[in-house]
Structure 1
């Protein structure tokens, strides 16, 4: 038995190892692991936690389920392992963090691990600190899971949409909005900030429709389901509206500048100012007066 990185390494019976946090694996990749171990042996020991149950020494697996399964498939009865002394709870948490910290993992696995830590009572801040992400991001994941958004979770699991899109879509107020946004994301029609913009537009559209129907004394016949084309048209109309607002804003700003300059010129004429006072027209809106005074300064 040797020591490495503060843990002792031992050959332990595979039959006494319990997998506390199992997860699904890619069969092709796992077959490569099995073939590699068969050819050159196990290069990296698994990690386990030692505990006693009914007077028998047993081990909880922290890291290395794929390697352990490969050894079983190859008929091995013992496995080299780093052995640590931790409680079952600590062991499970270490296993979850090990899985999350992997460079390559499926998004659905990441969501599942975060959900498991959340169920065990860890706060968003604690989970974020353990896996190196922000607490707000962890909160978005837990909200998605707590809401039971099966369709969105399935879309993430199958790789149709990224986790970040699913989180944004889950905030939509209706299932119809969620469905059309998911379809558009999966088709590659929208991405990035467009997801959030369209979600807000759809929510506002559906709230307005609901209010109008209620005022008419009840809902009308079932409306046609939105399509991806409809969604893109909604986005384009909103974009055109925003561009028009920007143009109007620029035009109004230009008119205001012209007015300020014109008033500065006429107010510099003492005779004109005297005439305004005689006609009791010397006052002007406070905001305009401040603007003129500021420009003059």
Structure 2
């Protein structure tokens, strides 16, 4: 990794697109990208991209710090150059600038935001510095890092999407794996006003999924600590839990089929009574859903 003193000066230049490399690439929603292209095509580029130069024996190339969407849009529109603010910073500073700029500017999905905070932590920044760079509160960053280090991906997703508040998620996480302790933590959160109304319902759903399926979502955000405790015993326990869940689904399906058979049999019996059918017609109640009618008037279900 290149180290050097950051130069705060910057200048606007026209940079050839083929000399710019994306430092911190990310996926973008197609609809959002099409909107960026349309806006640039009709209104022009409102804000230049930000790059930093890298010189070698072949000449000068540039690392993109900010403006990947605008860069791709210029390429899609057939441009060969793009206005860019050129800043002279080292590799680490460029990476951090790119990451924090994206976190501060755009609406991240919960996983992206948590992953960005984790990347900053891995770069050696403490929660106060991360908060200052991203515009998030130190308390929020502390809570997110706490849940990240505990591998609480389901709780993180719920916090990021606004379904439950961060302080309630931390209380649930602190209760550990014991279901009674988790329920007690939720009761305390309710009594203290942290969980009310719809948020309490959402918290119960998240906690149940967490109990049955585990803390992790199975995505790329799984923390290092979450994978350290994987043993043959835990794998067998998770397998048995999943088998139990599948058996429960089968029992529910069998119960639903029995109920349907009973309903179909009862309807066949009462609809064989002509007087009853005439009464239904008089009351304009002689129709039923096609799905049910096909089974009532067929020989089997």
TM-score (norm 1): 0.53
Counterparts of residues 1-297 of structure 1 (less than 5 Å):
6-102=9-105, 104-155=107-158, 159=161, 161=163, 164=166, 166-174=169-177, 177=182, 188-190=198-200
Q: Find the aligned partners of 1:66 and 1:46 in 2 and give their Cα distance.
A: 9
Secondary structure at the aligned position of 1:190 is classed as helix
Q: Find the aligned partners of 1:30 and 1:163 in 2 and give their Cα distance.
A: 31
TM-score (norm 2): 0.53
Q: Does the C-alpha gap of structure 1 residues 61 and 174 become closer, same or farther in structure 2, counting only changes over 3 Å? A: same
Contact 1:107/1:162 (<8 A) preserved:
no
Instruction: Return the structure number with greater relative CO, CA threshold 8 A, min gap 6.
Output: 2
Contact 1:60/1:88 (<8 A) preserved:
no
Contact 1:97/1:131 (<8 A) preserved:
yes
How far apart are residue 23 of structure 1 and its match? Answer: 2.8
Q: Find the aligned partners of 2:59 and 2:178 in 1 and give their Cα distance.
A: 53
- Bigger Cα Rg: 1
Q: Does the C-alpha gap of structure 1 residues 109 and 167 become closer, same or farther in structure 2, counting only changes over 3 Å? A: farther
Aligned residues: 189
How far apart are residue 71 of structure 1 and its match? Answer: 1.3
Unaligned runs of 5+ in 2: 1-7, 208-240, 246-301
Deviations 1:27-46 (CA, angstroms, capped at 9, x unpaired): 22221111111223222111
Q: Find the aligned partners of 2:104 and 2:154 in 1 and give their Cα distance.
A: 26
How far apart are residue 56 of structure 1 and its match? Answer: 2.8
Once superposed, what is the RMSD of the aligned Cα atoms?
A: 3.7
- What's 1:216 paired with? none
Stretches (4+) displaced over 6 A: none
Unaligned runs of 5+ in 1: 200-221, 226-297
